[in-house]
Every structure is written in C-alpha cells, then in structure tokens.
Amino acid sequence: MSGNHPRLTGKIDPNKINRIETPRISESILQAFRDLGHCTCAVSDALDELGIPGAIPGSMLKCIIPGSHLVGLALTLRNVARQGDLNEIVRSKNNLMAEAECHNLAQTGDVLVIQGVQSASNMGGVGGRMGKRQGELGAIVDGVVRDVADFKESEYPIWSKGVTPITGKWRGQSEEINGPVTICDVLVNPGDLVVADESGVCFVPRQFVDAVLLLAQKKVRLEEDLSQKINQGWSIPDIVNPLP
C-alpha cells in the first residue's frame, strides 16, 4: 500500500480487502438527505415507488441509543461463524475478527455495515471508540454486539439485531472488507447510502440516490403541508380530499 492509504493492521489477509477506499456520494446529496431530518419513512416510500428493496424495520434492527439518526456511506464487513473446538481456539488466543481494520480504513462520514454472526458479538466498546475517533457516524449490524454502556458513553449509535455479553473473538472470523454484504436480506455495497433513525434503516444503492432524494423530498413536503392544514383546523374530508 502506498500514497495516502493507511498502513494496514495485519488482522486480515489484504486479499480479503475488496477496496481500500469507500466510493463517495457528493456532499451536496448527503446534505440534502440530512436536511430531511429523521427520514427513513420518506426514503422507504421513495424506494417503494422505484421498486428498490432497501428498508429494514426498527423491530429487526434496533438502535441501542434512542433518538439517534444518521446519513452516511456504507463501509462493509462480512463475518462468518468460526469452525473448530472453542476451548482450543480460546487457548490459542488467535483472534480472526478484523473489525479494527474497518476503523483503520474509515473516512469521515462512513457507517460500518456488518453482515455478522448471530451467536456472539461482532463489535464492542473499544471498536466503537475507534470508529468514533475515525469519523464514523455509527454502525449497522446484522447480528449482535456488546458493551452497550460503552457505546452510549462514546455516543456511537449502533442498529443491531440484539446485544450479548459473549465475545466474538473466538466464535467468528472476518471474510471480507468493502465487498457486498447482505443485511436482513438487503444487498448492500460499499459506498451505498445509509439512512437510519428510530423507525429503522434504509440502504440506497449509489446509482439511485438522486431519484430517491427527489421522491423523499416530495414526500416530506407533502407531509409538512398536511400537518400545517391539521394545525390550521382544516376538516378531515378537506385534508384527505383536497378541493381542485
């Protein structure tokens, strides 16, 4: 590795790093999504109109810090369950998890997206502090995490399937960084847009961000107009069936 690329940690075979840098969506597009506020519902509606699967309910991926929301770019990691005798693996102290390498490669505005194992932690509090320092906005984990109090203290939000005290050091191994991952049956590529809030998580493929943004903005404007009419005392029939 040369140039401005970071020095690798050595925790994963470099051949398993699909790309060093996450593809970037323009800052103007990202800011436009941020300006929509807590917008997963509007983004989900836009994805529906375009026939793109990408929305995951908050009942499946719940945020450990209530009230959190983010708009960022996917930095992906794929973990798999580790094979072998657990007692022997623990005695060997051979950790094959490479989440730290993701933090090492992270750019400001990235969101760590992990296709993880379900029976043990894919990320802990130290990782959250690394990610926060590197400029990550948070993480989305199809799997479980641990050290909830640490994530809250460092203000690093995570949307996950659950929490556990059980370490993944000996129970999982990282197979690929910045390659395609599947999160709750949704395909996510590095650099895809990630939108998350208390309603859930939406992934928007990079090639569709402009179209999704226009539809989401339209949805937000419509709801703002309807809310204003409610506050102004319009009758429900006039709100639901506006006059021409």
> Per the annotation, where are the binding residues?
146-147
Return the beta strands (E) in the chain as ranges.
Answer: 55-57, 62-63, 70-81, 110-115, 138-145, 158-163, 172-177, 181-183, 186-188, 193-197, 200-204
Report, in this order, helix, strand and coil percent for the chain, each rounded to 5: 35, 25, 40
What's the one-letter identity of residue 79?
N
Residue 80 to residue 146: CA distance in whole angstroms: 17
Sequence ranges of the binding site for substrate = 146
Helix (H, G, I), strand (E, B) or coil at 141: strand
Candidates 8, 1, 18, 16; CA nearest to 174 is 16
Element (H, E) at 91: helix 86-92
Structure tokens belonging to residue 198: 């208390």
Q: Which residues share a beta bridge with 76?
A: 113
Rg of the chain in Å (alpha carbons): 20
Sequence ranges of the binding site for Mg(2+) = 147
Residue 114 to residue 79: CA distance in whole angstroms: 7
Q: Pseudo-torsion of CA 47, 105, 32, 58, nearest 10°?
A: 40
